[in-house]
Structure 1
Amino acid sequence: MLKNILTITPFFSPNIGGVETHLTDLTSKLSILGYQNYVLTYSPISTTDVTWQHSEKINKNLHIRRFSWFGNNLFHRLEKKPLLNLIYITPYLLIRSIIWLIIHHPKIDVIHSHGLNAAIIGIFLQKIFHINRHIVSIYSSYDNVPKSNLYISTILNRVDVVLTQSQRSIDQLTKLGVDKNKTHRYRHWIDTAKFKPLNTTRKRPSVLFIGRMIPQKNALLLAKVAKTFPNIDFNFVGEGPDYSKIKKLSQVNKNIILHGNVSYEKLAGYYQNSDLFCLPSKYDEGWGRVLMESIACGVPVLATDMGAVPEVVDKTVSVLFTPNLTNLKKHLTNIQSIITLKKNCRSYALKHFSDKNISLITRFYVKT
């Protein structure tokens, strides 16, 4: 088993997001298991007003180095312009990673890159420093990428292992020409001791949304439907470009409650004080960590049927729908029947979302 891991990622805590939370869980668990883990990343580039440190030693096994970089949510604004996104994310982190490795020259057995841009960096680092193993975790969906696009397959066929969270993603990558023998499925996990049910009473149903308020996440759709259901509270956690639009609606509809960004340590309380979690995304979700957290807290979900979501949840804990106003209204009209699914949620989470899932990653930390 190879024990010295270099994690390459443009995004890491205190940047806020599902990937960042997963990486915090992953690196923390690896350190507990005795892996020496070095994280090379940027300063928060899509989350503002957070405190961060350039260099941080969490414990004897976990070291984080953050390189200052400009953000203002530019990454998400460039998502549909992959070349500009690559130029923005990749070269500087590559240069700083090379310099850091030359100066500190720690023993590295495995590079674990997170995302396609990080994969490019890892390919160069593996070649320059003769590192044994390069693993890449993929979080995006590539359903709309034409087969003629060789960019993704050219990158991923140069690494040793590609990890992704759904069979749908594996099928997409295979169609794009990625060697299917390299691709493997794994699952995220959550802290089920932190995310657990709490018996609370409410006078009226409460629906929760947690996430970045960007058009793809479609939080605005949920806010628009609020006026149709004045006897249901709609709670929104997060910020982003659509925040101001939802805030304007909240001034007219008093059942819309905005909480802004909330620290991860406090998120469980928002789930525990809700009856239903709604994820109305209008794009292919790569996984949907918030679904796991909600279900672990005993809260069923009303979620998009797009992307990998149908592989995260089943009909015992969720209702899936094609995200539009008509469908959302129809299901919220029957909110009480969805709430009854809460009886199945905790056992489902303990079965599918425990930290035993880390073995689906560490099994590849071996010599080739």
Structure 2
Amino acid sequence: MEKIGEAVKILLVNMFYNEEGGAQKSTTLLAEQLAKEGHEVSVYSIDTDKPVKEQKNGVNVYRRSTWTFNLNYIFKPQKSVLKHLFYKCFETYNKKAEHNFEEILEQVKPEVVHFNCLSGMSLSIIEIAKMRGIRTVLTLRDYWLEKPWGIKKNFLVKIMNKRLEPRIKKTLSYIDVVTAPSAFTLNHFIDKGYFNPSLQICKVVENAVTFSYSNLKEIIEEKRSIVHEKNTRFLFVGSILRQKGIFKMVDAFKKLSNYPDITLEIVGRGADVEQLQQEIVLDSRIRYLGFQFTPKLDEIYRSADVLLVPSDWDEPFGRVVIEGNSNGLPVIGSNRGGIPEIITTTGGGEIFDVSNVLNLVDVMEKFIKMSDYNNYFDSILLTIDTYKIEKQSEKFLRLY
């Protein structure tokens, strides 16, 4: 990779810093790659009960708590209404998070602050960075800025989202550079007036994965030789939530009852696990494997034939698609959000209409009947480097 200028002091901000979800994983991979390239990288997150400073793979991580906001609570499937309302009041304006941020700025003295998911971290930290003359970058990894009080169609949620909109848009005017991992997400926010391309730099910077090209070639050569010496093994990896299309996927798979030897393995965790287990209990071809970390997840990818990404909502990107392709898996993905952009770019799969379960059944059956997946394999090998972490870090450094 071409070296771009001198080492930069960068502070990445994200509510979590781990590898348990798409946004967290994307932030972590970028931070570690930038550190690997010789930049001074720090991260501020609020995913702890007590202050922690640690170094992980060359990255200085500042984990802080906010007494007015508890991440562990807001992601519980069952919540007290009053307690939930209390936490919602502090998602956009949180004095403790603001104080934490100022303290970390004093220690790190960054040249660039790169904001990611900011729920619970106080929008005022964007203004604080800008008032100190620090360059500000924001990556859109979710839709929280548009609907901070959620997407439920009740009166209070609608009123609060509408009331906060002018404040959020004013705060976002302090951002110098806005990026999104897909054109779909970037255009969505621009069209709704959250950003102004004539005053701000607005760019698509795709999410990335780390992988060995030689290892990918080896995996694909192995898969070329065994496709349909066994029966098709479908795989789902992601959050176990209705919005991820998981129940439509299970319904579609069950309709393929004339193929008794195909299988579907499901990896992940989420609020709808109990319902999922009830749905699959009578079909022995479907197995729920729980949440899996690398390297066990890599083994599961390697043993599968086709990855299913049936998301029912507009994914800002859909990083599991590139994870599947980079592990030699063709992908069947829904036509929502950024998913079609990835599949079109890599040529490593097929897109289905998520509003039509029978369309998903047809596409799955197409893969079951295929004699080989060589067209997908060849295309993946030609295009997957679009999503290499080195290319992503280069794009961000140019923007920094």
Instruction: Report the TM range for the smaller structure's normalisation.
Output: 0.7 to 0.9
1:358 alignment partner in structure 2: 393
Q: Does 1:190 align with 2:209?
A: yes
5+ residue gaps in structure 2? 148-157
SS of 1:259 mapped into structure 2 = strand
1:27-51 CA-partner distances (Å, limit 9, x unpaired): 1111111111111102279xxxxxx
SS of 2:63 mapped into structure 1 = strand
**Partners in 2 of 1:136 and 1:75 — Cα distance?**
23
Larger Rg: 2
Q: What RMSD over aligned residues (CA atoms) do the two structures have, in Å?
A: 3.2
**Partners in 2 of 1:82 and 1:32 — Cα distance?**
42
TM score, norm. by length of structure 1: 0.84
**Which stretch shifts more, 202-211 or 113-122?**
113-122
2:10 alignment partner in structure 1: 5
The alpha carbon displacement at 1:141 in A equals: 4.9
Contact kept? 2:136, 2:174, Cα under 8 Å: no
Q: Does 1:247 align with 2:277?
A: yes
**Partners in 2 of 1:243 and 1:38 — Cα distance?**
35
Contact kept? 2:14, 2:27, Cα under 8 Å: no
Q: Percent identity?
A: 20
SS of 1:313 mapped into structure 2 = helix
1:7-26 → structure 2 map (5 Å cutoff): 7-14=12-19, 16-26=20-30
2:237 alignment partner in structure 1: 210
1:137-190 CA-partner distances (Å, limit 9, x unpaired): 111259997998445532322111111122222322222221114211111221
1:49 alignment partner in structure 2: none
Q: Does 1:232 align with 2:248?
A: no
1:162 alignment partner in structure 2: 178
Contact kept? 2:91, 2:122, Cα under 8 Å: no
The alpha carbon displacement at 1:308 in A equals: 1.2
**Partners in 2 of 1:133 and 1:82 — Cα distance?**
34
The alpha carbon displacement at 1:72 in A equals: 3.9
SS of 1:223 mapped into structure 2 = helix
Aligned residues: 352
1:325-340 → structure 2 map (5 Å cutoff): 325-336=357-368, 340=373
- Name the CA shift for 1:150/1:89 in 2 (closer, same or farther; >3 Å): closer
**Partners in 2 of 1:281 and 1:143 — Cα distance?**
21
- Name the CA shift for 1:268/1:172 in 2 (closer, same or farther; >3 Å): same
- Name the CA shift for 1:212/1:331 in 2 (closer, same or farther; >3 Å): same
The alpha carbon displacement at 1:224 in A equals: 2.6
The alpha carbon displacement at 1:272 in A equals: 1.3
2:350 alignment partner in structure 1: 319
Contact kept? 2:210, 2:388, Cα under 8 Å: yes
Q: Does 1:113 align with 2:115?
A: yes
Q: Does 1:180 align with 2:197?
A: yes
1:11-41 CA-partner distances (Å, limit 9, x unpaired): 2105x11111111110111111111111110
1:206-243 CA-partner distances (Å, limit 9, x unpaired): 01100011111121222233333333100100011221
1:105-144 → structure 2 map (5 Å cutoff): 105-117=107-119, 120-127=123-130, 130-141=132-143
TM score, norm. by length of structure 2: 0.78
2:90 alignment partner in structure 1: 87
